[in-house]
Amino acid sequence: MSTPQISVGVVGARGHVGVELLRLLHAHPTFRIAFASSRELVGKSLSAFDRVLGDTARFESLDSEAVAARGADVVVLALPNGKAAPYVAAIDATKPETVILDLSADYRFDDGWHYGLPELQSGEGTAPATRISNPGCYATAMQLSIAPMRDALAGPVQCFGVSGYSGAGTTPSDKNDPAKLRDNLMPYALIDHVHEREVTRHLGHAVEFLPHVAAHFRGITLTVNLHLSKPTTHSEVIERYRAFYADAPLIAVQDDAPWVSAIANRNGAILGGFALDAAGTRLVVVCVLDNLLKGAATQALQNLNLAFGRPQLEGIAP
């Protein structure tokens, strides 16, 4: 017996993450693309933007009411922060059983929404959700880095992050201008970044986040400084991380500090480095992930698989 197809509409499909998600959905054995909405690309074939997506489907320009009227099984909102609410309200009024996955920060602090970071939750199929907030890219890297040591921490955790400029979106700015970024490292939002608040809320432990943008296109390097409540050894730390992620095929744990070039265009994350001071009470961990994939589109697909009782990695290559 064949598996029924699940229809998925993507709103804000022009952005870097939207395109990555369309590519993943196109190759998925269960999900099918019902529509892709983008005001800037209306009428253009999806294949004109990414040849993998085929020649038949075309971008549309759909407002919130039109999106709700399509009656898709899933609507993914790949919109800038502050733009999701009208679509959620229209779907709630028209077909509330539709699964909505929001890629922005709009619902990451809302207890009525499921915050979907699968590796830090209890497993496949345990809490199907119809309102899913996808974690931020940096927030994902921070939580993956900190969670295995959560019960051993003393004081706030410091996180120094460097992202490729795709993380700044497609609207032109200093943060995604390759000419301005060349030979530069641009610090920004050094206090009270939304991901700092997001991680502090969801881990229940204070973090201090220092984000930067670099001249490469994709990928995050995060260096995390953890103060520990009691001395530990390098072997104990490595074993703790490997045990914590033993059932998480997208998370690799290695001895050496990983390079961001090793994770570009890959669906997972790599943790490594694991440097301890002489007292064994200060640990530094490095995490790399692709901000467009595990930091956004891949994680969205994991969450959608779980919402429909599918294997968590269906359509996702480890």
> Catalytic site residues?
137
Sheet of strand 157-163, all strands in order from the earlier edge strand to the far edge: 186-187, 207-213, 157-163, 220-227, 282-289, 269-276, 251-253
DSSP helix/strand/coil, 284? strand
Specify burial of residue 55 (Cβ count, 10 A radius: 0-12, 13-18, 19+).
Answer: exposed
Q: How far apart are CA 248 and CA 21, in angstroms?
A: 21
Which distant-in-sequence residues (6+ apart) come within 8 Å of 150 by Cβ?
203, 204, 205
Give me the helices (H) in 83-162, please: 85-94, 137-146
> What are residue 102's DSSP bridge partners?
77, 133
Is residue 269 within 8 A of residue 141, CB to CB? The reply is yes
DSSP string, 37-67: E-STTTT-BHHHH-GGG-SS-B-B---HHHH
Distances, alpha carbon 101 to alpha carbons 31, 63, 95, 316, in Å: 14, 17, 14, 18
Backbone φ and ψ of 200, nearest 5° = -60, -40
In 3D, which of 200, 128, 203, 217 has the Cα closest to residue 165?
Answer: 217
Count of residues making up the chain: 318
Both structure tokens of 188: 């920004």
